[in-house]
Structure 1
Amino acid sequence: MGWLFGWRRRAGAGVVQPGEAPAGAAQDPANPIGGGLLAGLSLLLRSRYLLGIGLFVILLATASTFLYFEQARLVAEAFPERTRQTQVFSVLDATVQALTILVQLFFTGRMARRYGVTVLLTAVPLAVTCGFLVLAMLPTFGVLAGVMILRRVGEYALLRPGREMLFTVVDPETKYKAKNVIDTAVYRAGDAVSAWVKTGIDALSGHPATVALAGAVLALAWAGLGWWLGRRHEGQLGPSAGPPGRAAAAQQR
Structure 2
Amino acid sequence: MADPTDRPGLRAALAESPPLWWSILYFFSLLTGYYVLRPVRDAMGASSDAVAVFPRAWVAWVEARGQDIGDFTLQVLFTGTFLVMLVLQPLYGALVARFPRRVFLPAVYAIFIACLFAFFLAFHYQVAGRGIVFFIWTAVFNLFAVTVFWSFMADVFDNAHAKGIYGYIGAGGTVGALVGPTITRVFAERVGVANLMLVSIGFLCVCLFCIFKLRPWALKREHERGEASGERAMGGSVWAGLRLVARVPLMRAMAMLMFFGVGVGTLLYNEQAKIVRNAFGADAAGATTYFANIDLAINLFAITLQLFVTRWLLRRFGVGPALLIPGFAVLLGFCMLAASPFPMLVAAVQVATRGGEFGLGKPGRETIYTRVEREWRYKAKAAIDTFVYRTGDVTFVWLHKALALFGSQVVFLAGVFIAGMFTLGAWRVVRLQGTLPGASKPGDTRP
- Deviation of the 1:85 alpha carbon: 4.0
Question: How far, CA to CA, are the matches of 2:257 and 2:378 in structure 1?
Answer: 18
Q: 2:321 aligns with which of 119, 135, 149?
A: 119
Compared CA separation, residues 213 and 27, structure 1 to 2 (3 A): same
The CA distance in 1 between the partners of 2:428 and 2:266, in whole Å, is 23
For 1:226, give the aligned amino acid: A
Deviations 1:45-72 (A, max 9, x none): 1112111111111111111100001112
Are residues 1:8 and 2:160 paired? yes
Q: Does 1:36 align with 2:224?
A: no
Report the 3-state secondary structure (helix = DSSP H, G, I; strand = E; otherwise coil) of the residue aligned with 1:163: helix
Q: d(CA) in 2 for partners of 1:52 and 1:189?
A: 15
| Contact 2:159 2:371 survives alignment (8 Å) | no
Conserved? CA contact 2:322–2:360, under 8 Å: yes
For residues 147-183 of structure 1, what are the alpha-carbon distances to aligned partners after superposition, in whole Å with 9 as ceiling and x for unaligned?
0100111111111111212223321111111111111
Q: How many angstroms apart in 1 are the aligned matches of 2:162 and 2:396?
A: 39
Q: Partner residue of 1:141?
A: 343
TM-score (norm. length: structure 1): 0.81
In the superposition, relative to structure 1, how do residues 174 and 72 fare at CA in structure 2: closer, same or farther (>3 Å)? same
Which protein shows a greater Rg?
2
Pick aligned residue for 2:421 from 208, 221, 234: 221
Q: Which amino acid aligns with 1:227?
A: W
1:15 is matched with none
Alpha-carbon distance between aligned partners in 2 of 1:153 and 1:103, rounded to the nearest angstrom: 8
Q: Which residue of 1 aligns with 2:436?
A: 236
Indicate yes or no: 2:227 matched with 1:26: yes
Residue 250 (structure 1) aligns with: none
Q: Secondary structure of 2:436's match?
A: helix
- Aligned-partner Cα distance in 1 for 2:226–2:432: 21
Partner of 2:409: 209
Task: Give the partner amino acid of 1:229.
Answer: V
- Asked if the contact 2:327–2:422 (Cα under 8 Å) also holds between the matched residues in 1, the reply is yes
In 2, the alpha carbon distance for the partners of 1:10 and 1:105 equals 14
Which structure has more relative contact order (CA 8 Å, sep 6+)? It is: 1
User: Which residue is 1:69 aligned to?
Assistant: 270
DSSP 3-state at the match of 1:236: coil
Structure-1 residue corresponding to 2:305? 103
Specify every segment of 5 or more residues in structure 2 that has no aligned partner in the other structure, as ranges: 1-12, 14-19, 21-153, 164-224
In structure 2, what is the equivalent of residue 18 of structure 1?
A: none
Residue 74 and residue 137 in structure 1: after superposition, are their counterparts in 2 closer, same or farther (change >3 A)?
farther
CA contact (8 A) 1:122 1:226 kept: yes
- C-alpha distance in structure 1 between counterparts of 2:250 and 2:413, whole Å: 28
What is the aligned-residue identity percentage? 31
1:51 to 236, 240, 252: 252
1:197 aligned to 2:379?
no
Amino acid at match of 1:214: A
Deviation at 1:113, TM superposition (A): 1.2
Question: In the comparison of the two structures, how many residue pairs are matched?
Answer: 231
What is the deviation of 1:84?
A: 5.1
2-side partners of 1:143 and 1:192: how far apart? 25
CA contact (8 A) 2:159 2:438 kept: no
What is the rounded CA distance, in whole Å, between the counterparts of 1:30 and 1:73 in structure 2?
Answer: 47
Q: What displacement does 1:76 show?
A: 4.1
